[in-house]
């Protein structure tokens, strides 16, 4: 994706990420530095999350969080199978950890106006 379209569509998230990860003010960057810093953002940066139209509740979950939930679920099943095989009355099967729903929300058309983003009201 071109840097200009990222800047116009996700300017606030990009500004937040550049300040959070690098301590750099987006208004004091050259175009070259802006491109280099943008390309160096980690995969869980807010800019990339907004570009993927991910629901708000899923934005807090990284790949590591999903893997930890999978490990906890697997350990619960191992524990259940050991207890169930060694008892006359097996316990209830374990429930997996709740994960955020990944249904995409409808895109909101944003318009870059100067240094702020104008989002038209949704009806």
Predicted structure pTM score: 0.51
Q: Over its length of 123 residues, how does the chain's per-residue pLDDT go in tens digits?
A: 588 888 888 888 889 999 999 998 888 888 888 888 888 888 778 888 777 766 667 777 777 888 999 999 999 999 999 999 999 888 999 999 998 876 655 555 555 555 555 566 665
Buried b (16+ CB within 10 A) or exposed e, 8-28: ebbbbbbbbbbeeeeebebee
Tokens of residue 83, six digits: 């207890």
């Amino acid at each position: 994706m071109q840097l200009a379209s990222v800047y116009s569509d996700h300017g606030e998230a990009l500004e937040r990420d550049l300040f959070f990860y690098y301590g750099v003010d987006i208004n004091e960057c050259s175009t070259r530095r802006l491109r280099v810093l943008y390309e160096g953002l980690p995969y869980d940066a807010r800019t990339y999350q907004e570009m993927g139209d991910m629901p708000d509740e899923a934005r807090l979950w990284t790949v590591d969080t999903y893997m930890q939930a999978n490990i906890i679920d697997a350990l619960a099943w191992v524990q259940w199978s050991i207890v169930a095989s060694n008892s006359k009355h097996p316990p209830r099967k374990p429930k997996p950890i709740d994960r955020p729903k990944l249904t995409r929300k409808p895109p909101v058309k944003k318009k870059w106006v100067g240094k702020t983003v104008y989002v038209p009201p949704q009806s």
